[in-house]
Structure 1
Amino acid sequence: MDFMQNVKTVEQVLTSLEVAEMVGKEHKELLRDIHRYEQQARESNLALSEFWKESTYKPEGQKRSYPCYNISKKGCEFIAHKMTGVQGTTFTAKYINRFHEMEETIVNGNAGVVSNIDNAKLVETIALQSEMLNKQVELLSEVTKVLAEVKKEIRATKEPTKEEDTPLIHNPKKMAVSDSLMYSRTKRLNLFIGKLAKLSGELKSDIYCSLYTEIEKKFDVSLDSYLEVFRSEYTQDAHTINVVAFYDDFYDYSYKLLDNALSRYSTFDREDLL
């Protein structure tokens, strides 16, 4: 029984790569959609942990790992409900057939597949997943250590020194700011986004999601990981925008993006936002 449960745990998800192919989107577009769903869920105090979980994949022949999601059947149903017409119907049929194939393989031993499973390959698959999980834990541990050092510096009222052209992902502690400056920056970014939403007619939640996606692409980081650690070190009430305001590189890049976006509109005085 434990063996079969392990097989089911490994197999009963689809990667976001496979789902993106099913819905006819580029993988980065599907990731952007999922980020937007999560932002909207957080604003409504909803949890989507049963729908999908963060993961990584490594393309063949490359050393670098890239972010992806392992999407459950419930997650596929959620995505399907966001689609309409022929595209939604086609995706629903594809993912239902795909999960049925996996269930038949696991429960019924379709064509003798289960009874002839190569244990060595199964062990190898589990080992690879374990290795990826260990790497994520190591990365999270490093971020936790850095934030702990930042917290000590803040308590000692010692303002950290910013080093020009130092990548944030290499040394985030040297780019953190005081609590008062962080909240001042947060207020300014929220004002920018509110004004941009009013002028453009877009939802504020969509603007937040687009901004976070651009930051993650620019600095090759996961803001969700930073937020998780930030909440454990500072306050559970923190939001992603607080993390953006907390680090100079994140904030400067966000300010530049929003200022450029607002510059397209000439019907208001931008001095009011400063």
Structure 2
Amino acid sequence: MSQPALASAPTLTVIDGKPTTLSTELAHHFGKNHRDVLRAIENLLPSLTPEHLRNFAQVSVEIEGGQGAKAAYPAYRLTRDGFTLLAMGFTGKKALAFKLAYIDAFNRMEAALH
């Protein structure tokens, strides 16, 4: 059975030596509405310890509208752990492909250690 193809990988930006991505990129990657991703993050945050909250930094992104108008919208900057934690809760074909790829990568790493 072939796995569904993922959208191109989210853009990464290194902040304080750690690769991060924006919630807007995550939404695009998984084909979700950004407002739904924001809701998923905001539902997850109250359950996290302060150590894990550091994986989700609230930011503002500027989006161009029609005729050159720009507006600022809320977003989150996620670390790899934040991205993974959030994505593991997603459902659908793209989310399943991500989970399977994550498991495969972990299994390859474990095999290399033996």
What does residue 25 of structure 2 align with?
A: 18
1:49 aligns with 2:56: no
| Percentage of pairs with the same residue | 25
C-alpha distance in 1, partners of 2:45/2:80?
17
Q: Render the CA deviation track for 1:126-159: whole Å, top value 9, x for unaligned.
A: xxxxxxxxxxxxxxxxxxxxxxxxxxxxxxxxxx
Q: Output the CA distance in 2 between the equivalents of 1:8 and 1:23.
A: 21
Question: Is the partner of 1:31 in helix, strand or coil?
Answer: helix
1:90 is aligned to 2:97: yes
**Structure 2 unpaired stretches of 5+:** 1-12, 103-114
Higher normalized helix content (fraction of residues): 1
Note if contact 2:58-2:77 (Cα within 8 Å) is conserved in structure 1. yes
Amino acid at match of 2:15: T
Seen in structure 2, the aligned counterparts of structure 1 residues 63 and 14 have a Cα distance that, compared at 3 Å, is same
Q: Map 1:253-272; keep pairs closer than 5 Å.
A: none
Alpha-carbon offset, residue 24 of structure 1: 1.8
Alignment counterpart, residue 33 of structure 1, candidates 28, 31, 40: 40
1:39-95 superposed Cα distances (whole Å, 9 cap, x missing partner):
333xxxx2232321001111133343111011110011101221346332334559x
Change (3 A) 1:70 1:88: same
The TM-score normalised by the length of structure 2 is 0.60
Cα gap change, 1:59/1:12 in structure 2, threshold over 3 Å: closer, same or farther? same
Q: Is the 8 A contact 1:50 1:74 kept in 2?
A: no
The structure having more radius of gyration, on CA atoms, is 1
What secondary structure is seen at the aligned counterpart in 2 of 1:13?
strand
Corresponding letter in the other structure for 2:56: W
Give the SS at the match of 1:8.
Answer: strand
Q: Please report the RMSD computed on the Cα atoms of aligned residues, expressed in angstroms.
A: 2.6
Contact kept? 2:45, 2:53, Cα under 8 Å: no
Q: What SS does the corresponding residue of 1:65 show, helix, strand or coil?
A: strand
The letter for the 1-side match of 2:45 is: E
What per-residue deviation string (whole Å, max 9, x for no partner) do you get for residues 174-218 of structure 1?
Answer: xxxxxxxxxxxxxxxxxxxxxxxxxxxxxxxxxxxxxxxxxxxxx
Q: State the TM-score, normalized to the length of structure 1.
A: 0.27
Equivalences for 1:1-274 in 2 at 5 Å? 8-9=14-15, 12-41=19-48, 46-47=49-50, 48-60=52-64, 61-84=68-91, 86-92=93-99, 93=101
